[in-house]
């Protein structure tokens, strides 16, 4: 499985988990535009979390915390 397939599967998994928490599920969203909007919103969260993690690692390098 390629990285993009893994990310896609994780995004779908998390979108479904969010919708199930709200009493629904991704399988109920068959209209392409709606489904795409839901997956896009979850992908935005995924990317934001990734950037935040990378920023923390870079900050720790800059502060000299890594390698101690």
pLDDT per residue as tens digits for the range 35-64: 999 999 999 998 999 899 888 888 888 888
Mean pLDDT confidence for 25-30:
90
Determine the Cα–Cα distance for residues 13 and 39; give it in Å rounded to an integer. Answer: 10
Determine the Cα–Cα distance for residues 12 and 31; give it in Å rounded to an integer. Answer: 15
Coil vs helix vs strand at 66: coil
Mean of the per-residue pLDDT values of the chain: 88
Whether this model's pTM surpasses 0.85: no
User: Where do the domains of the chain lie?
Assistant: 3-62
Pick the more confident residue, 47 or 3.
47
Q: Give the per-residue pLDDT at 66.
A: 62
Determine the Cα–Cα distance for residues 52 and 13; give it in Å rounded to an integer. Answer: 21
């Amino acid at each position: 499985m390629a990285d993009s397939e893994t990310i896609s599967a994780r995004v779908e998994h998390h979108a479904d988990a969010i919708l199930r928490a709200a009493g629904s599920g991704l399988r109920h969203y068959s209209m392409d535009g709606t489904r795409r909007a839901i997956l896009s919103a979850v992908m935005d969260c995924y990317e934001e979390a990734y950037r935040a993690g990378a920023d923390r690692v870079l900050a720790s390098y800059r502060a000299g915390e890594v390698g101690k």
